[in-house]
Amino acid sequence: MKAAVLRAYRAPLSIENIDLLPPQSGEIRVRFAASGVCHSDMTRIEGARASALPIVLGHEASAYVEELGPGVTGFDIGDRVVLSFIYDCGQCYFCRSGHPNLCEVGIGMLRNGTMPDGTTRLRKGDEVLHHMTVSSFAEEAVLPARCATKIPDDMAMDVAALIGCAVLTGTGAVFNAASVSPGDSVLVIGSGGVGLNVVQAAAIAGASIIIVSDMSPEKLKLARSFGATHLVDARSEDPVAKAKELTQGRGVDFAFEAIGNKVTIQQCYDAIRSAGKAIVVGVAEAGNCCEIEALSLPFTEKTLTGSMYGGARPGLDIERLIDLYSSKRLHLDELISQTYRLDQINEAFHDLHEGRLARGLIRYE
């Protein structure tokens, strides 16, 4: 099958023919319909999160079930599915305590580029690693059946693909990590694919003030259509000052960082009120550290926390998001800025790097 392979950091992906091994126990083989082009993939290309190579990137996708491995139930050949990149074993401490997004086995798979048994299903001579379980910049993949959720026959595969990362991560940060309530005030720094989903989830939750800060006028305009009430052009305006101005000097109830940068993480912390919550959704470079004044913690009771995959329980949360989309409360079609073929993958990442995309999409159909 054809796949986009990363063989060297800060170098173009190469389109190659590689081998895909059959599914093992509990696994399925899928044929991809569409795959989102995500910032997390770009940081891997740039070497910001180093790992062993070669690796097939891509992790946000919709697909068709093509083959069932031994012991797989609940799926039929031809089923249409959304794929989640976190495997939950159901047995570890985090799965049993209600945090399947932090599954010890699943996080190990992300770190090592393998399946649950510690091996890969991709070959070109030696092993080729999986990226975030899914490796969707390819025609097909083998992955755990637990990472697939069936979707309705009338849902377009293009928009369904986005649910697997950008939508689940952004909305989950609001619904799960923050539990935003009607009347709350919110700041969102970064209005890319994930940030826009934070914005629209805050609007769905009933937030009365939704401030969005970005350096792109085009993305700010899009954020307005997703529910932003106030816009901050970060090239010339200060989001912290705007947050204080709109809340009688207190600061907002919740601030979401959707970039992955120590400066904007600090801004989120500074922008929240006492007992407020700053939530880091963006993925920063390894070793990128921010400093918080220690004295502010006991005297303000502020919280700075992360949100891994939106605190998602993928099966349940994906079904909820599909219902919101079906009822026209969740905007998905509007997220797609441009579509590409697999052989245009490097062009897609160039456009993402230049800030031209809310979400680019690789189409396989």
Element (H, E) at 218: helix 217-225
pTM of the model: 0.95
The bridge status of strand 148-150 relative to strand 185-189 is: unpaired
Residue 163 lies in a domain: no
Q: Are residues 196 and 265 in the same domain?
A: yes
pLDDT digits (tens, 9 = 90+) for 344-355: 999 999 999 998
**pLDDT score of 288:** 85
Intervals of the chain under pLDDT 70: 50
Q: Which residues pair with 138 in a beta bridge?
A: 3
Distance from chain centroid for Cα 169: 5
pLDDT digits (tens, 9 = 90+) for 229-248: 999 999 999 999 999 999 99
Q: Are residues 6 and 137 in the same domain?
A: yes
Q: Are residues 57 and 128 in the same domain?
A: yes
CATH of the domain at 27: 3.90.180.10
The residue range of the domain holding 134 is 2-150+332-363
Residue 243 lies in a domain: yes
pLDDT digits (tens, 9 = 90+) for 19-71: 999 999 999 999 999 999 998 899 899 887 767 899 999 999 999 999 999 99
**pLDDT score of 156:** 97
Q: Which residues pair with 27 in a beta bridge?
A: 144
Residue 48 lies in a domain: yes
**pLDDT score of 224:** 98
> What is the rounded CA–CA span in Å between residue 226 and residue 268?
20
Q: What are the phi and psi torsion angles at 186 (to 5°)?
A: -140, 140
**pLDDT score of 355:** 87
> What is the rounded CA–CA span in Å between residue 360 and residue 34?
10
Residue 312 lies in a domain: no
Q: Are residues 134 and 182 in the same domain?
A: no
Q: Are residues 196 and 146 in the same domain?
A: no
Residues 60 and 35 sit within 8 Å (Cβ to Cβ): yes
Q: Are residues 143 and 8 in the same domain?
A: yes
Residue 196 lies in a domain: yes
CATH of the domain at 185: 3.40.50.720
Q: How many domains does the chain have?
A: 2
> What is the rounded CA–CA span in Å between residue 220 and residue 238?
15
